[in-house]
Structures are given as C-alpha cells and as structure tokens.
Amino acid sequence: MKKEMDKLKNRMKSSKKFTIFLVVLLLVGVIAGTLFITILSSSDKSLIKEYLNSYISDIGKNKINYLPLFCNSFLKEILISGAIWLLGISIVGIPAILFLFFKEAFTLGFSIGSMLFVYKGKGLLYAFFYIFPCQILNIVAYGLLLTYALSVSLKMIEAVFKHKTIDFKAIMNKYSKVLGVVLGLFLVSSLLETFLIPNILKWILSIIK
C-alpha cells in the first residue's frame, strides 16, 4: 500500500511540474505574440489594421459568411490536433509537439496585440470576448491533448530504448478517446467563435458607436 501511495505522490508531483511548464510556455508564447506587432514594419501594421477594420465592418453590416468561417476554424483545429496526436505516437515528436503548442499561444498573443494596437481601449473589450470562452476552450483542449501526446511519446521512447513492455492497444484506445474529447471541445469552440462572438461584437459596436 505504501509503495502505491508513493507512486501516486510521484505522479502528482510530475503532473504538477508538467502543468507549470505548460503554463509558462503558454504565457511566454502569448506575451511574445502580443509584443511581436511592435517590431513589425509600418506596411505590415497597415495590413493588419485593414484586415481587422474589414472584419469589424463586416460584423457591423451583417456580412459575415458563417459557414465558410466555421469550416475554416474547425478544419484548422482538426489539422493541428491531428498533427499533435500523430506526433505523440512517434519517438521524435516531443519538440514538434511543444513547438505547435507554443505557436498556438503565440498566435493568440498576436491576435490580442493586434486588437490592442488597432483599437486601443476598445481593443481590450474585443480581446476579452475573443479570449472568452472560445480561446479558453482551445487552451484546455490543447493542454489535454498535449499532456497525453507527450505521455504516449515518452512511453514509446521507453519501449524502444529501455525495452519496456507496454500495452499498445490499451494506450491507443485511451489516446483515441482523448482525441475525440478534444475534437468535441474544438467543435464547441468553433461554433461559438462563428455564431456567438460576431453577434456579441455587433452588439458591442451598436453600444460604443
């Protein structure tokens, strides 16, 4: 019994350390993305401003094409999560998995930074509704998938280099279920991003004009 309790404690410590590592990586990515716009050229900043103004204008004029927007959003998450999932069953996928997670955090930060740069005070409001709840759901989904992907990858490494026996079928069954849950979260996030957030922003625009 004592041995099992020690194993559980060690697992909780490892999980806590890994969670802290992911949070730090997330924060570094978001901060780097937020600040990145400050080093862009004037022409790049103008393009970003033009894109955001066009998007906000389309929302105000109710010109959003919802179906393509939803398909693009959900397809992007399927491709990235599929890539992370596949990298998890390789023995060389850990750096790539961490890079993809950092890239998503950087993209989130860049989106926030762009809104703040273009809309100043209003940008805080836009960024808030951009983050909640869609991006929070995405972060939870990526964190869950990342945890299992790295765990599976480490087990594969142990099996190959340390000649440890693993129940591959059981691991893949659980890993596939995790992917299903993650895709479900991304589906909800994409639906909210496509059909809820534009309408919230439209309501905000009608108030602050």
Q: Any idea what the Cα angle at residue 197 is, between residues 131 and 112, rounded to 5°?
A: 35
CB 29 within 8 A of CB 142: no
Average pLDDT over all residues of the chain: 87
pLDDT for 112? 93
Q: pLDDT of 103-152, one tens digit each?
A: 999 999 999 999 999 998 888 888 888 888 899 999 999 999 998 998 88
How far is residue 149's CA from residue 88's CA, in Å, rounded to a whole number? 4
- Measured in whole angstroms, how far is the alpha carbon of residue 139 from the centre of its chain? 4
| Domain extent for 68 | 2-208
Is residue 197's pLDDT more than 70?
yes
pLDDT for 80? 95
pLDDT for 11? 47
Is residue 10's pLDDT more than 70?
no
CB 153 within 8 A of CB 115: no
pTM (two decimals):
0.87
- Measured in whole angstroms, how far is the alpha carbon of residue 147 from the centre of its chain? 13
Is residue 61's pLDDT more than 90?
no
What is the band of 7 on the pLDDT scale with cuts at 50, 70, 90? very low
How far is residue 198's CA from residue 99's CA, in Å, rounded to a whole number? 30
Secondary structure element (H or E) that encloses residue 160, with its range: helix 136-161
**Higher pLDDT among residues 7 and 100, named by residue:** 100
Q: pLDDT of 33-43, one tens digit each?
A: 999 999 999 99
Is residue 209's pLDDT more than 70?
no
Nearest to 73 by CA among 185, 163, 208: 185
* Number of structural domains the chain divides into: 1
- The mean pLDDT of 39-65, rounded to a whole number, is 89
- The mean pLDDT of 178-203, rounded to a whole number, is 93
DSSP H helical ranges for 162-195: 168-191
Query: Which residue is it, tokens 């020690």?
Result: 6
